[in-house]
Chains A and B, each alone.
Chain A
Amino acid sequence: AVQMTQSPSSLSASVGDRVTITCRASQDIRNDLGWYQQKQGKAPKLLIYAASTLHSGVPSRFSGSGSGTDFTLTISSLQPEDFATYYCLQDDNYPWTFGQGTRVEIK
Chain B
Amino acid sequence: QVQLVQSGAEVKKPGASVKISCQASGYAFPAYYLHWVRQAPGQGLEWMGIINPSGGSATYAQTFQGRLTITRDTSTSTLYMELSSLRSDDTAVYFCARRDCIGSPCYFAYWGQGTLVTVSS
Do A and B associate with each other? yes
Known: A95-B61, A98-B46, A100-B44. A32 touches B108 (CB 8 A): no
Among A10-18, A19-27, A43-51, A70-78, the stretch in contact with B: A43-51
Q: Are A101 and B62 in contact (CB under 8 A)?
A: no
Q: Which residues on the B side are within 8 Å of A3 (C-beta)? A: none
Interface residues of B in 62-119 (CB under 8 A from A): 62, 95, 97, 102, 104-109, 111-114
B contacts with A: majority SS: strand
Q: How large is the interface on A (under 10, 10 to 19, 20 to 34, 35 or more residues)?
A: 20 to 34
Quick check: is B59 within 8 A (CB to CB) of the other chain?
A: yes
Report the separation of the CA atoms of residues A45 and B35 in the bound assembly, to the nearest whole angstrom.
15
> Tally of A-B residue pairs with Cβ under 8 A?
63
Interface residues of A in 34-48 (CB under 8 A from B): 34, 36, 38, 42-46
What band does the interface of chain B fall in when counting residues whose beta carbon is under 8 Å from A?
Answer: 20 to 34
**Bound form: Cα–Cα A95–B38 in Å:** 14
Closest B residue by C-beta to A31: B105
Distance in angstroms between the alpha carbons of A75 and B50 in the assembled complex: 31
CB-based contact B106/A91 at 8 Å: yes
Question: Are B109 and A43 in contact, with the CB atoms below 8 A?
Answer: no
- Minimum distance in angstroms from A67 CB to a CB of chain B: 11
CB pair B109–A46 under 8 Å, yes or no, is yes
A98 touches B108 (CB 8 A): no
B2 neighbours in A (Cβ, 8 Å): none
Chain B residues proximal to chain A, CB less than 8 Å: 35, 44-47, 50, 59, 61-62, 95, 97, 102, 104-109, 111-114
